[in-house]
Structure 1
Amino acid sequence: MLNPIWLNTFKTLIETRHFTRTAEILHMTQPGVSQHIQKLEEACGYSLIKRQNKTFDLTLQGELLHKYVIKMQRQEAEFMETLNANDKTSGDCFISCSGSLATLLFSDFIALQCQYPNLVVHLEAAPNNRILQQILNGESDLGIVTQRPDSLLFSDEIIGQEELVMVFPSSTTITNTNLVTTMMSLGLIRHPDIDHYLRLYLAHCEQQVLTNFDVRKIKTKGYVNQIQQILLPVSKGLGFTVLPRSTVESYATPEQLHIFDMSHVVAETLYLVTKHKRELPARFELIKSKIKHVLN
């Protein structure tokens, strides 16, 4: 069995990329760090790093060992969580959802952590496919997606809906008559979810003028992958976009934006997802309750 102290020294060295800094963090001497790495290399039977003056690179075996250490530490953390499964107010909670939902939920999770300081929330914004992969890999405990996942791999429950809206600059006057021409003249501010949102919106908005509209005719006026920044070019009159209503309403200067009101609400169903047959620790009841409260 590889010495866990040597493994921790190795992982810390990879994270800091510096022998002296590693020694400071671990309260060791620099020769002590080098000795741990040497002993680990002897135990593995391979060189783990290639030294180049004051820097180093990982060998292939070093890269494999680094992945192994991360995996083992994650498994150990999961094991410790199982021992603490009945504590309702402490422990780590790894949650994945869309950027818009992360923005909506973040302040409420912070409030929950202030109430229960031993509760640690790890919130990551990701697309649907990445969220499901994280749950399968054990990187995330709980996810929120907009498409029902495979029931053989996941357990899910419907927790709400997310309304989508088409957003224009506030200076734009829009009617059903000039909607298409306005979209064409302004152009589209793109973001990672725009193709999905736009297709869904046009398909379900029940506006006859948009039913057979070819979105490929709309020129692109910009691309932003940060949820907080997507609406900035729209507010400056550079284009329009489609986003969840919660994202638009939480924008710093909503008076610079105009939501085109449709007679029919377009919304996506939200599913709360866990790995199939996995029993989550008791603390997740707090998390689930908070999510449902915010979304409803």
Structure 2
Amino acid sequence: MPLPMNPAWLHTFKTLVDIGHFTKTAEALYMTQPGVSQHVKKLEQACGYDLLKRSNKQFHLTEQGQQVYQYAVKVASDQKQLIESLGFDDAYAGLCSLACSGSLAMSAYPKLIELQQQHPAMSFHIEVAPNERILSDVQQGRIDFGVVTHLPNSHLYRSQVIGEEPLCLVLPASYQQQTINADTLMELGMVKHPDAEHYLSLYLAQCNEPGWDQIPINQIPAASYINQLSQILLPIAHGIGFTVLPYSAVAYFPQNDKLHVHNTAQAVTEPLYLISQRYRQLPKRYNTIQTLILEKLCQPQR
């Protein structure tokens, strides 16, 4: 006889599919890995079908698993909408979900925590993600507000320019008095990260330094690579390589006295757009968040 379908099992299964890894799912849900496996097993027993096909440390959804996942997504969305409707008109209560870049999260999250201290009925879900995922998550209702760096489709999103994020060319502090040119960058090599080539190409194209827009990015040697934002500047602080990052990532780096931010002929910035679904009316608490972002989170100039 099939077991009743426990909502906790559905939540664990949805989280596992979203994250794609048993151990990381266990960490996210504050569970043990065997506990995650047990929830999935019980959900399979309740459904009467295998939901996953496992291969070593990886897994793939079966056809039935895909259907159950879509159902779990709907359950989560319905629950979220219900919670929103209960406190829809309270400007200082309820869950607020926001997605942005890692550098912006470093400046945004402390401000949101301060707001939550003032209004304990508020809570925040912050996702660090690239532009494409933020746009997708907002459009599909997984996230309510997003901050992106290029103007989205006006037919799908409501958007507002909230400021500009300066981009910084960052070198070791020992280069502060030196002439920086294309040869310097080639000799140093680049500390690479997931957005490194995007930021560098934008920087070289807009900085107005003679000949910099002709530097072959794909020929710059890699001094290092890391995908953890808080660690990208660490090798540079130790005299290794250069990189390009948003100002906020540099400002919040604890050893920024060991860095040199090079000033070029033309400052390079990326516009910041606050986005939401075009035809969705958000709870009043999002007006509070929007005011905070406009007043507090626009980045200072270098």
TM-score (norm 2): 0.81
Q: How does 1:4-153 map to 2 (within 5 A)?
A: 6-8=5-7, 10-11=9-10, 14=13, 17-18=34-35, 40-41=46-47, 46-47=48-49, 60-62=63-65, 64-153=67-156
Q: CA deviation at 1:147?
A: 0.3
SS of 1:207's equivalent in the other structure is coil
For 2:211 and 2:12, the matched residues in 1 are separated by 61
Flag as ranges the 4+ runs of structure 1 deviating above 6 A: 19-22
**1:169, 1:234 within 8 Å by CA — same for their partners in 2?**
yes
SS of 1:259's equivalent in the other structure is strand
**2:197, 2:217 within 8 Å by CA — same for their partners in 1?**
no
> For residue 187 of structure 2, what is the aligned residue in structure 1?
185
> For residue 206 of structure 1, what is the aligned residue in structure 2?
208
> For residue 285 of structure 1, what is the aligned residue in structure 2?
287
Q: Structure 1 87/169 Cα, relative in aligned 2: closer, same or farther at 3 Å?
A: same
| Residue identity opposite 2:293 in structure 1 | I
Q: Structure 1 212/94 Cα, relative in aligned 2: closer, same or farther at 3 Å?
A: same
> For residue 245 of structure 1, what is the aligned residue in structure 2?
247
- CA RMSD of superposed structures (Å): 2.8
For 1:266 and 1:136, the matched residues in 2 are separated by 29
Q: Structure 1 10/249 Cα, relative in aligned 2: closer, same or farther at 3 Å?
A: closer
Aligned identity (percent) is 34
Q: CA deviation at 1:10?
A: 3.5
Query: Is 1:271 the equivalent of 2:276?
Result: no
> For residue 25 of structure 2, what is the aligned residue in structure 1?
none
For 2:222 and 2:248, the matched residues in 1 are separated by 24
Q: CA deviation at 1:37?
A: 7.4
Q: Which moved more, 1:73-82 or 1:8-17?
A: 8-17
Q: CA deviation at 1:20?
A: 12
Q: CA deviation at 1:209?
A: 3.4
**1:7, 1:69 within 8 Å by CA — same for their partners in 2?**
no
Deviation track 1:96-143 (CA, whole Å, cap 9, x = no partner) reads 011110111111111111111111111111111110000011111000
Task: Report the count of equivalent residues.
Answer: 272
Q: Structure 1 252/63 Cα, relative in aligned 2: closer, same or farther at 3 Å?
A: same
> For residue 220 of structure 2, what is the aligned residue in structure 1?
218
For 1:60 and 1:225, the matched residues in 2 are separated by 33
TM-score (norm 1): 0.82
For 2:141 and 2:51, the matched residues in 1 are separated by 29
**1:194, 1:241 within 8 Å by CA — same for their partners in 2?**
yes
SS of 1:171's equivalent in the other structure is helix
> For residue 172 of structure 1, what is the aligned residue in structure 2?
175
For 1:19 and 1:209, the matched residues in 2 are separated by 55
> Which segments of 5 or more consecutive residues in structure 1 lack a partner in the other structure?
23-32, 51-56
Deviation track 1:243-270 (CA, whole Å, cap 9, x = no partner) reads 1112111110111101111232111111
> For residue 20 of structure 2, what is the aligned residue in structure 1?
none
Q: CA deviation at 1:173?
A: 4.3
> For residue 230 of structure 1, what is the aligned residue in structure 2?
232
For 2:36 and 2:235, the matched residues in 1 are separated by 45
For 2:158 and 2:281, the matched residues in 1 are separated by 10
Q: CA deviation at 1:233?
A: 1.0
For 1:117 and 1:127, the matched residues in 2 are separated by 29
Deviation track 1:43-91 (CA, whole Å, cap 9, x = no partner) reads xxx33579xxxxxx98653553244124212222213313421011111
Q: Structure 1 66/187 Cα, relative in aligned 2: closer, same or farther at 3 Å?
A: same
